[in-house]
Structures are given as structure tokens and as C-alpha cells.
Amino acid sequence: MDELVSRLQQDYPELSFIAGDAACWSPRDSHVYYILDDHAGVAGLLHELAHALLGHTAYASDLDLLKKEVAAWEKAISLAELYGLQLDGNHIQDCLDSYRDWVHRRSKCPTCRVNGLQTTIERYSCLNCGHHWRVSTSRLCRPYRRSKMPTKEKSRP
């Protein structure tokens, strides 16, 4: 991981790469935060770098955010190939599923449970029953789907 970060810092001197507790892109200060982890950490690092390279700074709607996530993963795959790495397709789909689940939950009408239409960044309307509801603009409210790690079986004497 250290070697990859050093190469990225050389290739993208306009960005700062900072190890942290979460992977994210901060367009305000041009920082790419990453988790010191195994393969998932590398995937997260390349994904957040992809957001930076694609100029992602904000999103206009939930579907716009999902579209940007897909684009960032596609770019991350290209970056991985450039650096002689391979990303796990299942991991990428799990990450995208967390966004798909988030959009689905937010768009579900609290009155009749039919999916509605987003009318503003923080409002949805139901075409079925006419109900309107507000949603948080915070991306931190997203539900994340995490894969269960296999547990080690205890060996019997």
C-alpha cells in the first residue's frame, strides 16, 4: 500500500493522500483519504482518486450521485489496470448496492410504500398517493452493505 501511495503522490502532486479511518475525496482541500487495509483499502483509494480525477465535487440528485459512483468505479478499474492491479468485481458491486439500496429507501413513500420521484435534492413526491416527504442531504446517512467475513472454525482435538 505504501508503494502505491508513493506512486500516486508522484503521479498526482496536486492531491494529498492521507491515511485515515474512512475512504473519501475532499474537493475542498484536494485530499484523498484512504484506509490502510488489504485489497479493499486499495480499491477504496483508487475509487476516491477517481472521484478527484473526474472532478466530482457535488451531486444534484440521488440518481446523479449513483451515476457518479458508477463512473468513479469505472475509472478506478482503469487506474488499477494502469498500476498493474485488479479490483474485485464483487466488492465493487457491494459498494454500488449500498448506494442503490440508499436510493430505493429514500424514494419509498412513507404513506403508501410506492417509490416516488425526487423533486429537489431534499424532497420526494409520490405519484400514487400525492404525499411529499423530505430526505436528508447528508451523504453520511447512506446505509452501507458490508460483506460478512468468514469466521475461522475451531479445530477439535
94-136 tens-digit pLDDT: 999 999 999 999 999 999 999 999 999 999 999 999 999 999 8
- C-alpha cell of 91? 466488492
75-88 tens-digit pLDDT: 999 999 999 999 99
72: CB partners within 8 A, 6+ apart:
47, 48, 50, 51, 54, 56
Taking the domains of the chain in order of start, what are their residue ranges? 2-141
Choose among 45, 146, 43, 49: nearest CA to 98. 146
Alpha carbon distance 132, 64 (integer Å): 20
| AA identity, residue 40 | A
Alpha carbon distance 42, 63 (integer Å): 26
17-53 tens-digit pLDDT: 999 888 999 999 999 999 987 678 999 999 999 999 9
For the chain, give the mean pLDDT: 88
Alpha carbon distance 15, 7 (integer Å): 12
